[in-house]
A and B are shown apart, each in its own frame.
Chain A
Amino acid sequence: MPTAYRKSSVVAILLVAFALILADHLGSPTFAFNMGDGNVQTTLMQRDSTACAPCGAPCPSTRD
């Protein structure tokens, strides 16, 4: 049975995804920091222990 996909399409989709990730990373503070720029604020551990939900939402009691 022939494959259900075109090889070139799969490779192209993966390359586009990788390029988008790379473009996002190259413009980020983490990349700037790795390149020796000490004046950027990186967020290697993105935590907010005061948040009320995993998405960072505040507690209802604090919104009144």
Chain B
Amino acid sequence: MTDTLAPALGTRAVGVDRFIVSLALAGLVLLGALIWLETAPFLLALFALGAVLGVALYHGAFGFTAGWRNLIIRKRGAGMRAQLLLFALTSLIMVPLLGSGQEGLIGAVAPVGTSLMVGSFLFGIGMQLGGGCGSGTLFTVGAGNLRMLVTLLFFIVGAVLGSLHLPWWLGLPGFDPVSLIDRLGVVGALAVQVAGLGAIALWVNRIERRAHGSLERGELRIRPGEAGWWRTLLTGRWPFVWAIVVLAVGNALTLVIGGSPWGITFAFNLWGAKALQALGVDMSQFEFWTWDYPAMALADSVLVNITSVMNFGLLLGAMLAAGLANRFNEASRQRPQGRSFLAAVVGGLLLGYGARLAFGCNIGALFSGLASASLHAWVWFGFAFVGSLIGVRLRPWFRLPN
């Protein structure tokens, strides 16, 4: 859940915003047709999948930032437990897939070292100041949130800056990726994953019980509210379990269709670098942009870059969901000003710089990394949480509510 969305979810406007729904559908059809005509069917499938993920993120109000903050400040763990359930379910699907040895499937594994630790720590601070993580920033921008648009713009700036510095950071102490699947096999990796996630769940429960005496089991609710199944499916708000299932299956489908798990922030790097290139900057002078994958992405259309295509789908999917919920741009009735605006700028920069140093955001590094049973994802989780502990304490200075 992101900052700016959460308070608004308590109330629901009546009806559907036909203008926004029509515009989002027109955008999906127009861009989908372009992708279909100019690229390949698998990219159209990933574009559609991105849209479904955008709907799930919006209607499920599923994010990481507020879930962590609720645990830190209010000592409530439902959001965190929902994330742990998501990681566990996705691991159960993706670890056997990656361990099957099927050609063409690559997990989200990455090196462990100084770059990862510093990057995830900065990202954790940025989450709390920017008001969202990688997915949270993107789906709230799709839903018309102006403050998050500021965060996204500076997310892109930070990501490009991080890409220029990453080679230097990689020269600091670190070691090659550790895949638990390669080390322990599928069963061993799953056992470690489930044990690790279970241990965190017990810690979360302990914090909540100590503070409140009992647990709020919001993450396990399956039945919709009084609106009924169909209306809830179309207009939200989804129970956490619905979003968990869609996000888990969506990430697994991304792996099967695209060859690697879901990611978000590489596209921000790419968009920023393309903008600089359009302004006449020669990006090939920077080492990051000479590496094979970034160089390939920079040289060709954004429509053949999987991360970009899925992000476009996600933005339009979130817009569609916000229109169906009749809440498009609702969070922007109060324009960001003063320190709140500054928090979006600083948070965005930290998010972008941190994500690049840490090999991704909460989706590419944490969610997909854990689902790939990569050690770097566990390190990312720990350091980003420590960063968030500091971030929530900085929020009052920026006039952000806790």
Interface presence of B274 (CB below 8 A) = yes
Give A59 to B31 CA distance when docked, in angstroms. 36
Tell me whether A30 and B259 are in contact in the complex, defined as CB-CB below 8 angstroms, given that A14-B23, A54-B108 are known contacts: no
Tell me whether A58 and B291 are in contact in the complex, defined as CB-CB below 8 angstroms, given that A31-B38, A44-B40 are known contacts: yes
Interface presence of B20 (CB below 8 A) = yes
Give A10 to B21 CA distance when docked, in angstroms. 12
One of B39, B144, B174, B359 near A30 (C-beta < 8 A): B39
CB of B293 within 8 A of CB of A46, answer yes
- Could you give, for residues 1-38 of chain A, a 1 whenever the CB lies within 8 Å of some chain B CB and a 0 otherwise? 10111010011001000100110110011110010000
Chain A: CB-nearest residue to B106 = A49
In the complex, chain A residues 30-61 whose Cβ is within 8 Å of any chain B Cβ? 30-31, 34, 41-61
One of B30, B174, B292 near A56 (C-beta < 8 A): B292
One of B23, B106, B301 near A10 (C-beta < 8 A): B23
Interface presence of B347 (CB below 8 A) = no
Q: Which chain A positions have C-beta within 8 A of B113?
A: 60
- Whole-angstrom distance between the Cβ of A48 and the nearest chain B Cβ: 4
Q: Which chain B positions have C-beta within 8 A of A28?
A: 299-301, 303-304
Q: Which chain A positions have C-beta within 8 A of B163?
A: 55
Give A63 to B113 CA distance when docked, in angstroms. 13
- Whole-angstrom distance between the Cβ of B115 and the nearest chain A Cβ: 9
Give A57 to B166 CA distance when docked, in angstroms. 9
CB of B170 within 8 A of CB of A63, answer yes
- Whole-angstrom distance between the Cβ of B26 and the nearest chain A Cβ: 9
Q: Which chain B positions have C-beta within 8 A of A41?
A: 299
Interface presence of B294 (CB below 8 A) = yes
Judged by DSSP, the binding face of A is loop
Chain A: CB-nearest residue to B290 = A56
Give A59 to B274 CA distance when docked, in angstroms. 26
Interface presence of B352 (CB below 8 A) = no
CB of B176 within 8 A of CB of A52, answer yes
- Whole-angstrom distance between the Cβ of A45 and the nearest chain B Cβ: 7
CB of A60 within 8 A of CB of B170, answer yes
In the complex, chain B residues 57-114 whose Cβ is within 8 Å of any chain A Cβ? 106, 108-111, 113
Q: Which chain A positions have C-beta within 8 A of B306?
A: 46
Q: Which chain B positions have C-beta within 8 A of A31?
A: 38, 301
Interface presence of B364 (CB below 8 A) = yes
Q: Which chain B positions have C-beta within 8 A of A34?
A: 38
Tell me whether A57 and B300 are in contact in the complex, defined as CB-CB below 8 angstroms, given that A5-B328, A25-B34 are known contacts: no
Give A49 to B19 CA distance when docked, in angstroms. 44
CB of B364 within 8 A of CB of A61, answer no
Interface presence of B219 (CB below 8 A) = no
Chain A: CB-nearest residue to B315 = A17
- Could you give, for residues 14-41 of chain B, a 1 whenever the CB lies within 8 Å of some chain A CB and a 0 otherwise? 0001011001000100110010001110
CB of A46 within 8 A of CB of B303, answer no
CB of A45 within 8 A of CB of B300, answer no
- Whole-angstrom distance between the Cβ of B191 and the nearest chain A Cβ: 25
Q: Which chain A positions have C-beta within 8 A of B356?
A: 55
One of B17, B27, B39 near A44 (C-beta < 8 A): B39
- Could you give, for residues 375-389 of chain B, a 1 whenever the CB lies within 8 Å of some chain A CB and a 0 otherwise? 000000000000000
- Whole-angstrom distance between the Cβ of A15 and the nearest chain B Cβ: 10
CB of A59 within 8 A of CB of B360, answer no
One of B170, B174, B364 near A54 (C-beta < 8 A): B364
Tell me whether A54 and B302 are in contact in the complex, defined as CB-CB below 8 angstroms, given that A4-B333, A31-B38, A60-B176 are known contacts: no
- Whole-angstrom distance between the Cβ of A39 and the nearest chain B Cβ: 14
In the complex, chain B residues 174-210 whose Cβ is within 8 Å of any chain A Cβ? 174-177
Give A59 to B177 CA distance when docked, in angstroms. 8
| 11 further A-B pairs in the complex, CB-CB below 8 A; given A5-B329, A18-B27, A48-B292 | A4-B330, A18-B30, A21-B302, A28-B300, A43-B299, A44-B39, A46-B300, A52-B177, A55-B294, A57-B170, A59-B177
Q: Which residues of B contact A (CB under 8 A)?
A: 13, 17, 19-20, 23, 27, 30-31, 34, 38-40, 106, 108-111, 113, 144, 163, 166, 170-171, 174-177, 259-261, 263, 266, 269, 274, 288, 291-294, 296-297, 299-306, 312, 328-330, 332-333, 356, 359-360, 364, 368
5 contacts between A and B (CB under 8 A): A25-B38, A55-B356, A57-B359, A58-B170, A63-B170
